[in-house]
Amino acid sequence: MVKSAMCMAMVLTCYGSVCLAQSSPNAGSGTPALSPPGYTITLTQPASSFSLGSEIKIPMTITNITGGDVFWQAVWSTDKESWYRGFRFLLTKDGKEVETTFFHRKISGRQRQGDPNEVESGSTVVLPKPPGIMFVITIDLKRLYDISEPGKYTLEVTRFAGDNKTVVHSNAVTLNIVR
């Protein structure tokens, strides 16, 4: 118990210094001016349609667009899909969100009555990431959404940038799902 408390204190100390390191004073007001997020989220537009019964996987690239390190807050877990928790996913068809899976509801905190109760595990770590591509992650849309009809879908991803209290938006991609 003491060991995990010490770990958490170290993470919070590191994260606190990251927040200060990424802000600069606002000359006129005496309050810190928040810098824009130092990274972008880019979804790869699929080159072709997806079959309704096939896998629907979309590459997502996170790029450090600054000249120095970006401090990335991540969940350190034994769960290979824990990275999903750091992002918010929105898949729409005809302007409405597609039915979500239990996994999506769990990671987004939107569980419904009747969903199984599961305990989250892992801890938060802050990692320095140098300029350039930081990650390329493949989003498995069927892990997040119940895609049961053909049609045109739009996917967007966001991530909350805690250091400057803004939301980073990806580009939107259009998916064509056919029978």
Position 132 pLDDT exceeds 70? yes
CA distance 93 to 176: 10
The tokens of 25 are what?
């004073």
CATH code given to domain 2-178: 2.60.40.10
In the numeric block, which tokens belong to residue 58? 């979309």
Question: Residue 49 pairs with which residues in a beta bridge?
Answer: none
- DSSP classification of residue 127: E
Domain segments of the chain as ranges:
2-178
Tell me the β-bridge partners of 23: 34
| Residue type, position 54, single letter | S
Per-residue pLDDT for 122 more than 60?
yes
Residue 21: band (very low, low, confident or very high) from pLDDT cuts 50, 70, 90: very low
CA neighbor of 88 nearest in space, from 157, 147, 34, 16: 157
Predicted pLDDT at 35: 75
Q: Taking the mean position of all CA atoms in its chain, how far away is CA 173?
A: 16
Chain segment 41-93, per-residue pLDDT in tens? 999 999 999 999 999 999 999 999 999 999 898 877 777 788 999 999 999 99
Average pLDDT, the chain: 82
Alpha carbon distance 142, 54 (integer Å): 9
Residue 166: the pLDDT is 92
